[in-house]
């Protein structure tokens, strides 16, 4: 029996109680509605020290919604892109307010949260293309956004961690925007469902092994063995010349080994990398930062690392 930190136990209790009031998801739309409903239950007010604004990026044939969290007293500073989780199937800039805002507060810098297209309506490479387009747009519009284009970080949680890693690879391969830092929060990076953490934590309270198989099947249209490293960054043969990384994993998460194996490979490739495993935690634990001491500490540690890497004031 996994031992959870006390605050994580309380968080699990509250979420499971809330889930009993909602229908079990069967379709992608159900997954999205459930995640939106849960985000309303656990919503927190925006701090008075931040301005929050919704905007759109005009991409070819589509609009990409973004939400900008900006410290009110900040002049020209760094920018942190955030890509939300949700298994490539659900999630939005709204459902992940608590993540993006927590990073903005702890790093003391502007965060731009990106609402990329979702599968199955838009399978790979739609989400990765949207995130890379957003990265390029932010770099090209640094003056309009009041940011220093030389100090940009990319990151996200779960599926968003995958997309951040993919953006770092694309920027390197395409000689695109400079990325100063990447942060991956319990990222899903490969379709190997038989790692020790997948086996040991197959029934994480909110992310089972079967959930992950469903998400990957939906995103890749059953092509689990894809050679495309922008879809499954763990498949990348060469991880050299990538931006320094911070990888945060959860002790009892089926995806724990994804993040830690990727971090070890980055280190082997000569990329400065911090790998941090949060004890007594589960997948998605960042959402419990107002309930769990360990979650609050990990968000602070992450923000501190980003702030130092970006030389934020």
Residues 180, 168: Cα–Cα separation, whole Å: 10
What is the token pair recorded at 58? Answer: 């005009």
Residues 123, 127: Cα–Cα separation, whole Å: 7
What is the token pair recorded at 181? Answer: 């830092």
What is the token pair recorded at 24? Answer: 């079990």
Pairing of strands 110-114, 77-83: parallel
Task: Enumerate residues 6+ apart whose C-beta is below 8 A from 293.
Answer: 5, 6, 7
Catalytic residue among 157, 204, 211, 253: 253
Catalytic residue among 90, 136, 158, 197: 158
What is the token pair recorded at 281? Answer: 């935690």
Catalytic residue among 136, 258, 283, 292: 283
Active-site annotation holds for 39: no
Active-site annotation holds for 158: yes
In this structure, the dihedral spanned by the alpha carbons of residues 14, 257, 160 and 147, taken in order and rounded to 10 degrees, is 110
Residues 228, 113: Cα–Cα separation, whole Å: 25
Q: Tell me the HSE value of 21 on the side-chain side, using a 13 A CA sphere.
A: 8
- Strand positions, DSSP E, 46-169: 50-59, 62-71, 77-83, 110-114, 147-157
Active-site annotation holds for 197: no
Token match 């770099």: residue? 139
**Mind telling me the catalytic residues?**
158, 253, 283
């Amino acid at each position: 029996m996994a031992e959870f930190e006390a605050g994580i136990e309380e968080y699990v209790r509250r979420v499971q109680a809330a889930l009993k009031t909602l229908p079990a998801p069967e379709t992608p739309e159900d997954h999205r509605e459930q995640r939106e409903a849960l985000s309303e239950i656990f919503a927190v007010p925006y701090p008075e020290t931040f301005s929050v604004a919704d905007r759109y990026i005009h991409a070819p044939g589509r609009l990409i919604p973004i939400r900008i969290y900006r410290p009110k007293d900040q002049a020209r500073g760094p920018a942190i892109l955030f890509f939300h989780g949700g298994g490539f199937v659900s999630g939005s800039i709204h459902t992940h307010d608590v993540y993006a805002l927590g990073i903005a507060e702890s790093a003391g810098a502007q965060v731009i949260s990106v609402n990329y297209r979702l599968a199955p309506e838009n399978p790979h490479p739609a989400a990765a293309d949207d995130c890379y387009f957003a990265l390029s747009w932010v770099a090209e519009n640094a003056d309009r956004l009041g940011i220093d284009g030389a100090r940009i970080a990319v990151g996200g949680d779960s599926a968003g961690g995958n997309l951040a890693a993919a953006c770092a690879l694309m920027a390197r391969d395409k000689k695109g925007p400079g990325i100063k830092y990447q942060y991956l929060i319990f990222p899903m990076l490969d379709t190997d469902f038989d790692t020790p953490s997948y086996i040991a934590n197959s029934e994480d309270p909110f992310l089972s092994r079967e959930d992950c198989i469903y998400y990957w099947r939906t995103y890749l249209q059953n092509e689990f063995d894809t050679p495309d490293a922008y879809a499954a960054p763990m498949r990348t043969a060469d991880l050299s010349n990538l931006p320094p990384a911070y990888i945060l994993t959860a002790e009892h998460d089926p995806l724990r080994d994804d993040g830690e194996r990727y971090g070890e490979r980055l280190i082997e490739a000569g990329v400065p990398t911090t790998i941090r495993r949060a004890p007594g935690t589960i997948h998605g634990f960042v959402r419990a930062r107002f309930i769990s001491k360990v979650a609050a500490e990990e968000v602070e540690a992450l923000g501190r690392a980003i702030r130092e890497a970006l030389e934020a004031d």
